[in-house]
Structure 1
Amino acid sequence: MTASPELDTLDTITSIFWVVVAFSGYVFIHELGHFLAARRVGVRVEVFSLGFGPFLFTFRKGETLYAFSLVPLGGYVKMAGQNDLGTDPNTGKPYEYSSKPPFQRMQIAVAGVMMNFIGAYIAFTAAYMVGIDVVPAVARQVVKGSPADKAGIRPGERIIAVNGSPVRSFNDLQPLLVTRPGREAEFVIEDADGARRPVALKPETKGNYAHIGISPDVPIHIGADLEVAGAFVRNVVKSGPADEAGIEPNDILAAVDGEPVRDGEAFQKRIAASAGDVLVLEVRRLGALLELAVTPKSLKENAPPMIGIEFTTAYRVREVFSGGPAEALELAHGDVIAVEGITAEKRTKADSGRKLSLVARLERDGAAVSLKIPVDFDETRGMALAGAEMQEPLRLGPLDASVMGFYKTVDFTKLVLGFLRGLFTGLFKVGDLAGPVSVIKFTYQASQAGLGALLLLFGFVSVNLGVINLFPMPPFDGGLLLFLLYEKSRGRPLPKRVQEGFLLVGVVLLLMLVVLVTSNDISRLFDGRGM
């Protein structure tokens, strides 16, 4: 059964609505902190606006004009006696921002950041109370020779905690590991009988990610004896070496310089070790065999040599077992199969699990057709054709959710700080930064996954905004705090021209950052990624 176009359109409109609400909330909650702190110390708030631009409608309560503005992305607070530098000329009126002592103005400045962290904690706690779908932190597969394997972690065992922080899902692991490159981490592991033991291991860093050598993917078998037939080309980077050599999507790269392709990782290493060398690829295209010459090269600065393809593994059927999905689909000896993706029907109230299917390309006798293979995890015969993450619902009571909310806020704060530190140490690159386009994209995706996922993302973005606003340069709150600390320690503010100079530099740097991260976002949307 498929959803009607009307329902798809309604889902899209609903998701866009939540994108606008969430994006407004990211900034609005920060400004709410400034508003509440200003009221607390007796500063008159002249305008509190949800959104920017011309007012759509307003109402006044007390001395504050509350406004809903044309562009509903964020908001702002206008206090009496304040401009972009922090102060207007002091007229001596007690309700003006500029009339307040430095310590009270510092409270107003830091309140926005504090509200970001409080909002993140509330969002994380609410997410766990509402319920989210998670991939359990179970080692379904353990890579031989990996840190996990050497530490004695076995398939089926569950990770309970890392460095004292509780782990409820696989997604909890990366923030706990990525900030500790090359450093040992303390794990708590639970075996199938429920017994727990401490395990110390040192994660490996590959690119921007920390790995310990476990996978949450459950192997998917189709009831057939399979052998690797080569690398199935899913996409070709335009003007890359593979494109120039004549390689096309849906080609199967069967051999390199006469050596059969039997392992994807070994194939990648062979390409990466062949910069400037001419490689002869044996290419299978709908039964026809071609020989094409390709020369790997770096497609980006400091990137390893590539030929510019996205690929997955292609398999050849050697034998079909009775009673399995392969027999039901009438697969035969010699058929070549490549998995193109995995689909999951949306969960309904009557269905507590996801109905997964493999979308595969079948080649037989020089022709190709598309197959949809129902996933049966009880089938274990033959080589696994693919792997799938098995999600399960996670819903906690108020106490457990509040504990997880606290740890999530702390762990994500460490993650953001670790990322910023990694930019200066070389662990991360400026190309890894994400901007508003990515935030909108992630928010849209989260809104389609459910309220819990949207709350988790809201918390993560709030943590990011809180940390970034502590940067000690105007127009960030951290810059204003620096000015106020100077004023409190010296008994007088910085000269206005000095403040203006710092503000100008800060605004220019901020605009450059916005251009950079937006460029990164656009590159991710259109950049073909492969090897």
Structure 2
Amino acid sequence: MSLALSLLALSFLIFFHELGHFLVARAFGVKVEVFSIGFGKKLIAKTYKGTQYTLSLIPLGGYVKMKGQNDSDPLEQSSDTDSYTSKAPWQRICILLAGPLFNILLAFFIYSSLSFGDKQVLLPILGEIKEGYPASEVGLKSGDQILSINGEKMRTWREMAEIIASSPSLSLQVKRENQILSFSLQSKEVEGKNIFGESKKHYVIGVGAKGEFGSMHFGVLEALKNGAISTYENSTLIVEGIKKLIVGVVPTSEVGGVVSIVQVMHKASESGWISFALLVALISINLGVLNLLPIPALDGGHILFNLYEMVTRKPPSVNMLYYLTIGGWAVLLGLMLLGLYNDLHRILL
């Protein structure tokens, strides 16, 4: 059942992406000839107001076929007023951006929804105090509750840990039983590893959490703020990951395909609906960011063509358009085969 749920969620992300293209295209008066979820043999096909809506056999993709635009034939053109190619470059860019932006907005909605209401959070109450570290040297004790750091109120352990990791000097306000105490200390710089396995320096004071949880209410504005922060941080992380892959910091063996995505979603669904929803949001961001890459077969590549036309006042030559699109499809096919190879290698070995 969880496997079917994973496939359904992946299909929904693709549907939402294509819905963005569809709605903005229609808003600019572009005729959408086909709105398809999936590839291959058409299982269901229904035409409504000039658009054929289809559900195809392989639900691991989808597309919107607009009049005058065809990824399988980059030379297709139409001068009709309701065609994609008749629109101004800025309008085409809006249509192309809509798909990725819809995926990013969906992630923002998921993160914001999960942040809203009463939540159990790990409180900034100290447990272990390590000897020889700044916290021990200034007299912090187990059971102390950190109220503020450098004048900023601390409500959760995560907030506290993040500000300590980036601050060489700290001014703490601490609650100890019925007393409010103040401490000033210099953090200790240590070297660790980031998510990409690179060496990264950060600061510590030598404390561990006591493990006490408390209830905290997040209102609408705070939930929206948390949603925006999570969306931005994860978008940045994905962009950084792509950069690391290109320069070789992340090995190509880490590239995964659809099989890996479904496997991870399957495991997340077994861990509970919150874990599953968080993963769906992350994959939605991933789908949005990857589609903005300047590869001709992707939205980002088409945006690049239209930017070229806006700057030069003329569209790319037919030969340039044709060969770059073929090259883009070759790159995509290579990445898909690499992902499939890595997926099978992980499964079989």
Equivalent in 166, 169, 190 of residue 185 of structure 1: 166
Q: Which amino acid aligns with 1:414?
A: T
Query: Do structure 1's residue 48 and structure 2's residue 35 form an aligned pair?
Result: yes
Identical positions, percent: 31
Q: Would you say the 8 A contact 1:147–1:203 is kept in 2?
A: no
In structure 1, list runs of 5 or more residues that go unmatched.
1-12, 178-183, 219-388
> Corresponding residue for 2:103?
116
Whether contact under 8 Å (1:131, 1:452) holds in the other structure is no
Matched residue, 1:442:
264
> Counterparts of 1:32 and 1:98 in 2: how far apart (Å)?
19
What amino acid is aligned across from residue 244 of structure 2 in structure 1? G
Q: Which of residues 477, 495, 502 is equivalent to 2:299?
A: 477
The one of 87, 97, 100 aligned to 2:87 = 100
3-state SS of paired residue (2:99): helix
Question: Retained in 1: the 8 A contact 2:305–2:316?
Answer: yes
Q: Matches of 1:117 and 1:44 in 2, distance apart? A: 25
Alpha-carbon distance, 1:54 to partner: 2.2
Q: Could you tell me whether the CA contact under 8 Å between 2:254 and 2:342 is conserved in 1?
A: yes
Q: 1:192 to 1:460 in 2, by over 3 A?
A: farther
Deviation digits for residues 142-179 of structure 1 (CA, Å, limit 9, x no counterpart): 66678998999876667999xx9x99676998xx89xx
Contact residue 292 and residue 298 of structure 2 kept, 8 A: yes
1: CA distance between counterparts of 2:10 and 2:93? 27
Contact 1:27–1:74 (CA under 8 A) maintained in structure 2: yes
Residue 245 (structure 2) aligns with: 423
Q: In the alignment, is the contact (CA less than 8 A) between 1:87 and 1:98 conserved in 2?
A: no
Deviations 1:49-73 (Å, cap 9, x if unpaired)? 2222222223333222222222223
Question: Taking structure 1 as reference, are residues 93 and 432 closer, same or farther at Cα in structure 2, changes over 3 Å only?
Answer: same
TM-score (norm 2): 0.77
RMSD: 4.1
Question: How far does the alpha carbon of each residue in 1:295-347 deviate from its partner, in whole angstroms, 9 at most, with x for none?
Answer: xxxxxxxxxxxxxxxxxxxxxxxxxxxxxxxxxxxxxxxxxxxxxxxxxxxxx
- Displacement after TM superposition at 1:428 (Å): 3.1
1:422 positional shift: 2.9
Q: Which amino acid aligns with 1:482?
A: L
Does the CA contact (< 8 Å) of 2:119 and 2:218 recur in 1? no
Residue type of the alignment partner of 1:34: H
Q: 2:240 corresponds to which letter in structure 1?
A: G
Q: Is the 8 A contact 1:53 1:71 kept in 2?
A: yes
Match for residue 76 of structure 2 among 81, 88, 104 = 88
Instruction: Name the CA distance, whole Å, in 1 between partners of 2:9 and 2:80.
Output: 37
Q: Deviations over 1:386-443 (max 9, x none)?
A: xxx8988887443322221111001111211222333355543333334323321221
What residue number does 1:510 align with?
332
Question: Does the CA-based 8 Å contact 2:120-2:214 persist in structure 1?
Answer: yes
Larger radius of gyration: 1
Task: Give the drift of 1:206.
Answer: 2.7
1:267-312 CA distances to partner (integer Å, 9 max, x unpaired)?
Answer: xxxxxxxxxxxxxxxxxxxxxxxxxxxxxxxxxxxxxxxxxxxxxx
Q: 2:311 aligns with which of 453, 465, 489?
A: 489
Q: Is the 8 A contact 2:125 2:212 kept in 1?
A: no
Aligned residues: 333
Query: Which stretches in structure 2 are left out of the alignment for 5+ residues?
Result: none
Distance 1:498 1:22, change over 3 A: same
Whether contact under 8 Å (1:88, 1:98) holds in the other structure is no
Amino acid at match of 2:333: L
- The two structures have a TM-score, normalised by structure 1, of 0.53
Structure (1 or 2) with the greater helix fraction: 2
Q: Distance in 2 between matches of 1:437 and 1:519?
A: 10
Whether the aligned pair in 1 keeps the contact of 2:134 and 2:187 (CA below 8 Å) is: no
